[in-house]
Structure 1
């Protein structure tokens, strides 16, 4: 298992970054490594983001020095998403089979985590938790679906809310998935920020020769990251998080912070972006 620590970056400091520095601080270039658990420990709301690919046998996430606790989930909750073929995640309370695009919420203390499935690809999200909620599997069919946008504005998309107050309870993790329909490429535009929460994005189902331009930065000092399939982005509270792709794609969004109010955002008018 590999865990990399990323420090929180002040927006005034981020304004000075070149492309290489932006990518080093905010882009997770290879979360999915065959036969490994590969994680990033972020100082934005202590979120942990990464992947597990049990291609050669079971992988176990039991403890991590970065959490300062004997067990990984002793003071944390987690969300596991399978973006590959069917696999199994065993928690302290038992095994859970995840099909493609299913999400598993794992409550505080329900570790260790064992990942299995030769063709499974597990995306891992975790944040500190203050109370226990039961571990729960939410399938793509059980998620709440919200259709937004239109083909005329190139943002016809479906939002699937999994770990979300309208579906289930959690401490501070909120997670879901957005799919762009054919011919649409824009997500989350008009843009917004939410200074009370940090966020992470994983882009997938993107053709290998396609890219997403992930928009970030302060509204008056925007930047971008060029992201390819199965790469993730850490989104700080002060940053917008919008994007446009050279082809349609799907992304997993997750947030952690002061509340679980999905609509608690500060909108930014398109005319105010610079």
Structure 2
């Protein structure tokens, strides 16, 4: 396996700072966030993120993106796109940019479940993905569907149903440990086995469920919060054992949205932890 960082989780760094620090720490790749975002007084994960390349004018920035990445000796593990599958013009732009960068794969967003009747949303997304698959094939890249809470593909089962029958060389699935803690959890190895050749990429972050104060009638309502990799509900050892047993040997991308540790310490600690978990699960599976 190879380890990279999604720059949604490095909002305080410029692209140049991000690749320099990540390379020094020993990461092997970077997954670039590409989206037109809202400005902010302070950098944040979703707005004012300094390690984000804008979608507007993307074509003119491709040489710079490639040069910045190459200067640090990193690979592009994928493109973290925010274009929805029914935005055909911008999907085509993202696929073309991915090909030009040699990045191989790019995330394409699925509809949220609160945007309409589920079956209608699902059928339309399937039609869009058939189109995406054909375009991706012509460019030699792969479009990725992420398992994400509050979307039509919150689980591996839903994603498999959406992509089944499409060419896995052109359409794949991102399995995301943290998102599945929130919604869509299925036994990990079973999910990998179901996805089979469609399992194309892995995201790791973690989530904790915390109780709110009791309401007047004693009701306690729980909410999720981003947590450090060691501290959330997701079991990283179990996750890596399942990856190893399935035979996955691709990219594992960290997107840690916890803020307990300062950013540079957080990324350094995460890499050490991920490598330690990978090593002990490798030994356990092969013993």
TM-score normalised by L of structure 2: 0.34
Q: Please say which structure displays the higher CA radius of gyration.
A: 2
If the length of structure 1 is used for normalisation, what is the TM-score?
A: 0.35
Larger proportion of strand = 1
* Greater share of residues in helix: 2
